[in-house]
Amino acid sequence: MHLCHTVRTMNTLNRRSFLAVSSTGLLTLPAFSMPHLLGQPLKDPGTAGDNHRGPCVIASGNGLAATDKAMSLINKGMDPVDAVVAGVSLVEDDPNDMSVGFGGLPNERGVVQLDSSVMHGPTHKAGAVGALEDIRSAARVALDVLKKTDHVMIVGQGARDFALAQGFEPQNMLTDKARQAWLRWKANLSPNDDWLDDIQRDIKDPAGDLSLASTIPFTWGTINCSGLDSNGNLASVTTTSGLSYKIPGRVGDSPIVGAGMFCDNDIGAAGATGRGEAVIQNCGAFSVVQHMASGKSPTEACLAVLKRIASRTRQKRLLNARGQPNFNVMLYALRKDGAFGAAAMRGKRTFAVHDGKQNTLHTAPSLY
């Protein structure tokens, strides 16, 4: 199938034909046929992963199970969009991961609100949900938005109603572990309120002697996962419970196409974790893909966007004594030819990769 014919075909796809294409795999591009956009050749500077060729799945550091699951399904012929969603659903179902899905840390009122977006490379179609309550898998709901509606994003009560209509079962998403963390955060908000904080208590609970850092989890945690099959088709998904103890209704970058996740089947896919506001304000995932289109390797593309985020961070409360961002953002990139990379704003961070042969954690370079 020639590229021009593929593009015309994608433009005429309706909902039924999308589902047929997803299940049959008929809509494919020639493997590794990414054009050299802007007249620049592809560059591979030798960073680990940037020279890889072939099917690949990349995810954030909490995604080893996700990459393993997604690669297994891709090898069985499953469309990458279904495979990556199945992969991250394992993390969404894990109550011990307090940044995603069931067991995620709640907003300031003690309510878990989930965000997710997913994108299918061959059709360039996306689906997303924001501030979703009482539903276990935001990624699966976002995938249903992609497949079954003409919309891209559904939020709040509408997202919950949509999920229920699709057969998702409502449940209490707040685990006891997350509830205890929320109560401890609430108690330590102010020494002048009516809640006794750790220092004011006359009788300590079993965790009372632990430091605040260890007893009050606070996270921007998320999982991003992008997949590439042997035909060169891409997909990406990001899902999260968002910033812990956030203002109710706050939505970060995860459900925003082009911020927390983006996929272009001619170029590559990218995703983000960390401070969502910074990623949104710099169109994080979209920018990574654009840098790959201009000739940068996946790792170079991630670092370039992190430099932009750093240079555009100008609020004093978000800068350290050296004038550097005092928060973290991590970006992940998977190019159409199978090259992959990632980079963090600060410190040593890991990311998961299944290169078709082995499923391992890699250490990403950092800007600072």
What does the alpha-carbon distance between residue 305 and residue 289 come to, in Å, rounded to a whole number?
10
DSSP letter for each residue of 184-249: HHHHTS-TTSSS--TTT-SS--TTTTS-HHHHS------EEEEEE-TTS-EEEEEEE--STTPPTT
Q: Are 53 and 357 in contact (CB under 8 A)?
A: no
What does the alpha-carbon distance between residue 98 and residue 240 come to, in Å, rounded to a whole number?
9
Coil, strand or helix at 363: strand
Q: Are 353 and 70 in contact (CB under 8 A)?
A: no
Amino acid at 178: A
Q: Which of 67, 222, 299, 350 is catalytic?
A: 222
Q: Name the strand (E) or helix (H) holding 26.
A: none
Q: Name the strand (E) or helix (H) holding 79.
A: none
Active site residue 28: no
Helices (H), the chain: 3-11, 15-24, 64-75, 80-92, 138-148, 156-165, 176-187, 212-215, 276-281, 284-293, 298-311
Active-site residues, by number, are 222
